[in-house]
Amino acid sequence: MQFTVAIDGPAAAGKGTIARAVAQRFGFAHLDTGLLYRAVGRRVLDGTPADIAAATLKHRDITREDLRTPEVSDAASQVAALPEVRSALVLFQQEFAKRDGGAVLDGRDIGTVICPEAEVKLFVTASAEVRAHRRWLELTKAGHDVEEAQVLEDVKERDERDSTRKDAPLRPADDATLLDTSDLPVEEATDAAIQSVARILGEKT
Ligand code: CDP
- Encode pLDDT of 114-127 as tens digits: 999 999 999 999 99
Chain-wide mean pLDDT for the chain? 96
Residue nearest to atom 13 of ligand 1 (CA): 77
Distance CA 126, CA 9 (A): 9
pLDDT at site 104? 98
Is the pLDDT assigned to residue 16 strictly greater than 70? yes
pTM (predicted TM-score)? 0.96
Q: What's the mean pLDDT in 13-39?
A: 97
Q: In a mutational test of the pocket of ligand 1, which residue from 30, 32, 37 has the highest number of ligand atoms less than 8 Å from its CB?
A: 37
Q: What pLDDT score does 205 carry?
A: 65
Is residue 204 over pLDDT 80? no
Average pLDDT in the 15-36 region? 97
**Is the minimum distance from the CB of 73 to ligand 1 under 6 angstroms?**
yes
Q: What pLDDT does 186 receive?
A: 87
Tell me what percent of the residues of the chain surpass a pLDDT of 90: 97
Q: What is the CATH number of domain 4-189?
A: 3.40.50.300
With a 6 Å cutoff on the Cβ, whether 80 touches ligand 1 is: yes
